[in-house]
Amino acid sequence: MSWKTILVHLDDSQRCKARTQFALDVARRFDAHVIGLYLVCQDVVHHLCDPAEPLLSSAYEDLRRISQGNACAAFEHATKLAGVNSEWRAPAGSVLGAAILHGRHADAIVLGQDDPDGSAAFIARHFVEDVVLGSGRPVILVPRAGDIKTLGENVVIAWDDSREAARAVADALPVLRRARFVEVMTVERHRDDETPAGIEISAYLDRQGVRASFSSTPRVRGDSTGLTLLDRANSVHADMLIAGAYAHSRGIERVLGGVTRTLLETSTLPVLLSH
C-alpha cells in the first residue's frame, strides 16, 4: 500500500510555495504523481466589481488570468526542479465541488491552513472542513507559518477508539511504515477505564509493521483536548499529527469548539485528518 497520486491545492497566497514544496516532498518519498489544483475565491469579484461596470469586470478577469498563469509557471518550475511527474488543473465552476471531485481520485490531498491575515488564502467558508468531510480521502493540512524541515519521521497518533481515528490510522499507514518514531497518544477522560485505549491500536500497528509506543496524557484543566494533543506533539518534536476528524457533530464543534476545530485553527505542524 502506497500513495501514488497526491493532489495539492494551489492559489495566489504567499504560503502556496511552501505547500507545493511539501506536496513535492511527499511525492518524492512515495514516487507519486502530483496534481496541482488551482482554485481561488470566486466571490471576490462581487465585492470589487459592479455588474453594471463591464470595464471593471474585464479588468478583474485580466488580472485573474495573469495570476493563474503565474501560478502555473511557478508550479511547473517547482515540479521540474523536484523531478516529479505532475499535471496542472484549473477547473471552472464551484471551488468546493472541484476540490472534492478531483480529490476523490487522489490518495492524499494537501491543503493550507486558514490564514486570517492573508486575503489571498481565503477560498470559501469552511473550505478545509468540507473537503475533509466530502472527499473520502485523507487531507494533510499544512500550517500557515513556519518551516517544515522533516516529513513523517516522528509521528503522533491522536487515538480515542472512534471510527474516525481508525480511518485516519488506516489512511496514514504509508506514512507510518516509513516513520522512525510513532507514538499513539490518548488524552485521559475517565481514569476508571479497564483497558487503556491505545493498547489495541498499538498491537494492530505492530502487525502492520509499525512499531509504536503508547502514552496516556491527562487533559490539563482549562485546556481543550485539542490543545493537549498539540502540546504533547510539540513536546516530542513531532513533524506530523494523525487524527480522526469530527467524531462529534460538526455543528456542535463549530458552536462549542472541538478537537477538529482546534487542530484546524491552531496547529503549528502538519496534520493528517480523515473522516
pLDDT tens readout for residues 205-233: 999 999 999 998 876 655 688 999 999 99
Quote the DSSP letter at residue 178: T
The CA distance from 261 to 265, in Å, is 6
The CA distance from 82 to 58, in Å, is 36
Q: Which three cell numbers stand for residue 219?
A: 487533559
pLDDT band at residue 258 under the 50/70/90 scheme:
confident
- Domain ranges in the chain? 5-142, 154-274
Residue 159 reports pLDDT greater than 70: yes
Name the least confident of 17-26, 108-117, 157-166, 244-253. Answer: 244-253
pLDDT band at residue 256 under the 50/70/90 scheme:
very low
Note whether 275 and 244 are within 8 A (CB): yes
pLDDT at residue number 252: 46
pLDDT band at residue 247 under the 50/70/90 scheme:
low
The mean per-residue pLDDT over the stretch 250-255 comes to: 50
The domain covering 5-142 belongs, at the CATH homologous superfamily level, to HUPs (3.40.50.620)
Note whether 138 and 273 are within 8 A (CB): yes
Residue 253 reports pLDDT greater than 60: no
SS3 letters for 201-251?
Answer: HHHHHHHCCCCCEEEEEECCCCCCHHHHHHHHHHHCCCCEEEEECCCCCHH
Q: Are strands 108-112 and 33-38 parallel, antiparallel or unpaired?
A: unpaired
**Mean pLDDT for the chain overall:** 88
The mean per-residue pLDDT over the stretch 5-21 comes to: 97
Higher-confidence residue: 258 or 124?
A: 124
Q: Which three cell numbers stand for residue 198?
A: 491505545
Q: Fold identical between 5-142 and 154-274? A: yes
Does domain 154-274 sit in CATH 3.40.630.30? no
The mean per-residue pLDDT over the stretch 70-76 comes to: 97
**pTM, full prediction:** 0.90
pLDDT at residue number 46: 44
The CA distance from 271 to 245, in Å, is 11
DSSP character string of 68-92:
HHHHHHHHHHHHHHHT--EEEE---
Alpha carbon distance, N-terminus to C-terminus of the chain: 19
